[in-house]
Amino acid sequence: AQSVSQHNHHVILSEAASLELGCNYSYGGTVNLFWYVQYPGQHLQLLLKYFSGDPLVKGIKGFEAEFIKSKFSFNLRKPSVQWSDTAEYFCAVNSNTGNQFYFGTGTSLTVIP
């Protein structure tokens, strides 16, 4: 079975600090990778996704993620966080033969002004 690990459960940063959230997955086949964000009181929204091609993908709001196949990782990065980035971030995986998503436990990010 597939599984997704997010190593950081709670992250607190000051504005302008750089962010990297770890995500590792276990699955031997071809996968699609996603990062979703849930701002306080809002829906889960897609930040970015990787299906194939350039392993460095850029998403909305200045976020990017790098797929490293050899490490089974898809870490999320942002060079300079803002207070408005305070949210919960979820890494998710699905196989290209299946539809269900496998999510990590989520990382709660608090950005201090």
Partner 1 sequence: EAGVTQFPSHSVIEKGQTVTLRCDPISGHDNLYWYRRVMGKEIKFLLHFVKESKQDESGMPNNRFLAERTGGTYSTLKVQPAELEDSGVYFCASSQGDEQYFGPGTRLTVT
Q: Residue 39 interacts with partner 1 (CB under 8 A)?
A: no
Could you tell me the smallest distance in angstroms from the CB atom of residue 18 to partner 1? 26
Q: Is 12 in the site for partner 1 (CB under 8 A)?
A: no
Residue from the set 28, 29, 40, 42 that interacts with partner 1 by CB under 8 A: 42
Cβ–Cβ < 8 Å for 45, 37: yes
For partner 1, the binding residue among 28, 43, 53, 70 (CB under 8 A) is 43
- Window 58 to 77, contacts with partner 1 (CB under 8 A): none
DSSP 36-103: EEE-TTS-EEEEEEE-SS-SEEE-GGG-EEEEEGGGTEEEEEESS--GGG-EEEEEEEEETT----EE
Binding site residues, partner 1, CB under 8 A: 4, 32, 34, 36, 42-46, 49, 51, 90, 92, 98-106
